[in-house]
Structure 1
């Protein structure tokens, strides 16, 4: 079996991909027009926009073929990301690397492939735009140049989406600050108004007209600012309620995304995957920053090392604290387990590549990426495991606003 290719800068490539913090379940409509355009330009039946992480090729959009993911080691695009300009296979049936793959021997029985790497501004290949067909094709130089333009537009659009997400995050932070400021000024203003009222009442008894008039002005100004604080709080509450209706990320939303993304992987190997949440905290909003990258790599890793008939269980819980909440992610499996040396290497970020229980290719970067992302979020990870007794990966991430 051919050894899967690996870019020399694989860890940097994965970090570049994780920086986009992509939700693979929500990108289809964003790139559908570009995928269709690529197929039309090339004159092929199929085109796909693929992103490649540690374990999986994610087809975030496409034209002519309904597919969401496949194991990285089965993909053709894994070869595209190690090439600088393009990767072409004139007939997949005649290539030792691909002739036995399911998409060649079964429907859609593909023959032709042409892929262009999706390059970030720092020249990391995070995926590929590819066009495919059931018949042998030949692309003219003009068509190739147009496909390169489309590939650049895909990366540009990914960058735009990243900027929009960052702006949304900053807007939420501003609203949170706005709310805190409004709360902070209410107390002092209420005290000023109360004092002014008291002086005004004493002044009336002494009939000090100037003092009365001055105190009335203080009272009026104070009430105006207090009304403004109430208005800020009211507006923030309405906006927060609207955001909660449409965009809030909760444990229930998290659970739904993990099931959609990774149950197909588990099913394909004959492994049962379950995701559960804590009922007491499943509706509380939380930050989704890097959560799919962290949990996704842990789940894919668990599936990889769990034999057919085994079980991978994901438990999501949000511990509510006085200062901040803490998200807890547990990924349990009935797999091959890890010895003390292996656990130590993972926690140091030095995990080595190993083969899965079904001879899946190992790249050795998934858990290193997880450790790096957890550290950047000021979180922690513990591993409980023994050889042949399964493993438990426990991640704790502070949800500091």
Structure 2
């Protein structure tokens, strides 16, 4: 049964949202996958063996022989086709395939001819990337070797999912310590009050009315302790498990520059990330942060023409509800009309073309909006045709 465009877009949205839940740091992942990529290359006998993860806009490549992750646009990716399948995808002659024969990696200096991709399928069913084999020569990889490569692909997924579970477990442990400390702090005051009242009852000669008044105060203090512990225990059950990994603004600035400076330069765009240096070392949960920034910056790169600029401002501010991470991403790109802005968070979006010909379906801002609200934050967007877009976000932190 052929699926509709709306169903296809919904599936893709769920796929990129599932990938965002892993809170992946590409620089950390490379070391975890290095030995598996080397093993895959040895089994296949190909010149290139890499792991590709595919988000809303980009394919990010992790290699056993290169320290830095590489990025290409999603529409230039072969693996973007692989993730649509439940099985491996093989292209014996890239230069004869109409989908790929004009790609830079087929006609350029590397001139790849052969491709084999094994989808990285999560236990929930979504394909978030592939184990990719490339060679400048034609290859004949037998079924037995392909089955072995499929096993390696499953091991890569296992490592991804195990990493996520480990982060959740670490958070549970840290949350337990936080609750213990909160209980100790909140209960100390009422307990001291009860002890003081009890000493007074014990040491002083009190009338029956005075005794009743003291016992009434003791009872109220006891109930206040019960209410506090109930509130703490209930909130501990209701809160979604969050990653315990933390990051500061200075490190976040460096990571964003590492990941997005080159894509911006490839379109001749100015790209700057500013942080409040006085608070640069303050740490906060990194949960969803890289996904939020990545989608906003990629969206700006897509819709800002050559010669334009993108600015990212990061700060921690004090508000009535406590400390919040204040994020502003601003560009001077093509912008959006008020009508387009009103409809941008609908489930189905039309195909949009970036200033460099990049393709997309407008899922990035929809995803960011949902991630921000899951964190208890707020998001505001202002935009004007031919003047650019400004996205402002506040996320509570502790």
1:253 aligns with 2:255: no
- Can you give the 5+ residue segments of structure 1 that lack an aligned partner in the other structure? 1-5, 203-245
Q: Deviations over 1:72-99 (max 9, x none)?
A: 1111101111122011111222222222
Runs of 4+ deviating beyond 4 Å: 63-67, 188-202, 347-351
CA distance in 2, matches of 1:341, 1:161: 42
Q: For residues 109-145 of structure 1, what are the alpha-carbon distances to aligned partners after superposition, in whole Å with 9 as ceiling and x for unaligned?
A: 2221100111111221111111111111010111000
Residues 139-171 of structure 1 show CA distances to partners (whole Å, capped at 9, x for unaligned) of 011100000100111111101000011112222
- Determine if contact 1:29/1:61 at 8 Å carries over to the other structure: no
Residue of structure 2 equivalent to 1:117: 119
Q: Which runs of 5+ in 2 are unaligned?
A: 1-7, 205-243
Shift of 1:281: 2.9
Equivalent-residue separation in structure 2 for 1:28 and 1:82 (angstroms): 24
Question: 2:223 corresponds to which residue?
Answer: none
User: What's the counterpart of residue 269 of structure 1?
Assistant: 267
**Deviation of the 1:349 alpha carbon:** 5.4
Listed one character per residue, the Cα deviations across residues 215-261 of structure 1 (whole Å, up to 9, x for unaligned) are xxxxxxxxxxxxxxxxxxxxxxxxxxxxxxx9641111221211111
Select 1:364's aligned residue among 355, 358, 362.
362
Over 3 Å counting, the alpha-carbon distance change for 1:62 and 1:107 in structure 2 is farther
1:349–1:371 contact (8 Å) kept in structure 2: no
TM-score of the superposed pair, with normalisation by structure 1:
0.81
After superposition, the C-alpha distances for 1:23-51 in whole angstroms (9 at most, x for unaligned) are 22321101111111110110111111111
**Shift in Å, 1:105:** 2.6
Match of 2:173 in 1: 171
SS at match of 1:15: helix
2:335 is matched with which residue?
A: 337
Q: How does 1:1-400 map to 2 (within 5 A)?
A: 9-63=11-65, 67-188=69-190, 248-321=246-319, 323-348=321-346, 351-399=349-397
Return the alpha-carbon distance in structure 2 between the equivalents of residues 291 and 144 of structure 1.
Answer: 36
Contact kept in structure 2, 1:315 and 1:331, CA below 8 Å = yes
Matched residue, 1:206: none
Q: Decide whether the 8 Å contact of 1:7 with 1:82 is kept in 2.
A: no
CA offset digits 1:153-192 (Å, max 9, x no partner): 1111101000011112222212222222232344356567
Change (3 A) 1:64 1:87: farther
Moved more, 89-98 or 187-196: 187-196
Q: Which has the larger displacement, 187-196 or 28-37?
A: 187-196
Which is further off, 383-392 or 186-195? 186-195
Q: Does the Cα contact within 8 Å between 2:250 and 2:281 map onto a contact in 1?
A: yes
The two structures, once aligned, show a CA RMSD in angstroms of: 2.5
In the alignment of these two chains, the number of paired residues is 353
Counterpart contact for 2:52–2:62, Cα < 8 Å: yes
How far apart in 2 are the matches of 1:364 and 1:322?
A: 34
